[in-house]
Amino acid sequence: MKLIITGGAGFIGSNFIYYELKQHPEDEFICLDKLTYAGNLSSLKDAMQQPNFKFVKGDIADRDFVYSLFEGEKPDVVVNFAAESHVDRSILEPELFLKTNVIGTGVLMDACRKYGIKRYHQVSTDEVYGDLPLDRPDLFFTETTPLHTSSPYSASKASADLLVLAYHRTYGLPVTISRCSNNYGPYHFPEKLIPLMIINALHDKALPVYGDGANVRDWLYVEDHCSAIDLIIRHGRDGEVYNVGGHNEKSNLVVVKIILKALGKSEDLITFVKDRPGHDRRYAIDQTKIHNELGWLPQTKFEDGIAKTIEWYLDNKDWWQEIISGEYQNYYKKMYGNKF
């Protein structure tokens, strides 16, 4: 089987490529990535050594380019990780998110229709559901929870999901969608909560925590997520949405304190900053459907996953030290510089 994996130089995409190379060495993998700020080719340096892997630089919103790629490669499956994915950035520049996350998704599906594929899989997010109240721990997102977005990012992802389902209903395109909770693990870009806190703590810098830090997320170790996507693209039912959660609900403040304790750093580094607009309070996934249909359950407890993640950042300083210079530093100052 030949797979095109878009956004494969990003966090979850690169982890998925390594998972697939290990689990399915008989398959061929083409990574399509635009290499924007969050796409890092160095994340794929080991994959580049494999004979069944190829990297192609390009934009999923470039129709001529995408059609040419499909014409030449004739893929069986497309897994779309390519997305602008940071909420704060979407508040600053929403148009970028609409172009990649909505227009790009449409271009990919048109290519799938034109050249024929066995499965198009859209990697989405639990953020399309909005949020849940902190005082109702009995409530969880299911696949039938109404979409109720809070940011330009989540609105663009919800739009893409609706477009994918419309292509299935209108054209019979064989599609699936997965909506995951917050991922963490190796190759996570430093703007996100966990890697940002690890790196800042290592440098004894202030750890910026939005609002009161009580916002709760369901943390999913990235390898567990990859295993779920693998099951869905190979055994999931056409036209279905599958929620993928970690069953590891933690508040942002608790996560930060766990990281500080693991690194032997003082909680005095925690600095509360002005909350971002529309900040969702709680996400929680009901994963009954994917468990019942495909037998999937998360395998990694947060305590184990965060230990492995911290160890990876300690062992791979060259990877993230290169990233935290240049454009990322300018962005960091813009987002947090006036909030302390």
Query: Which sequence positions are flagged as catalytic?
Result: 126-127, 153
- 328 in helix, strand or coil? helix
- 30 in helix, strand or coil? strand
3-state SS record for 205-257? CCEEEECCCCCEEEEEEHHHHHHHHHHHHHHCCCCEEEEECCCCEEEHHHHHH
Q: Where are the alpha helices (DSSP H) in the chain?
A: 11-23, 63-73, 87-92, 94-98, 104-115, 152-171, 193-202, 222-235, 252-263, 288-294, 302-315, 317-323, 327-336
Beta bridge partners of 182: 219
Characterize 208-232 residue by residue with b for buried, 16 or more Cβ atoms within 10 angstroms of its Cβ, and e for exposed.
Answer: bbbeebebbbbbbbbbbbbbbbbbb
Query: And the tokens for 76?
Result: 């069986």
Query: And the tokens for 328?
Result: 């990322």
Do 101 and 84 contact (CB within 8 A), yes or no? yes
- 90 in helix, strand or coil? helix
- Residue among 291, 285, 297, 267 nearest 217 (CA): 285
CA dist 207 and 170 (Å) reads 48
Q: In this structure, how many other beta carbons lie within 10 angstroms of the beta carbon of residue 274?
A: 12
Do 103 and 82 contact (CB within 8 A), yes or no? no
Crossing angle of the two packed helices 152-171 and 104-115, in degrees rounded to 10: 20
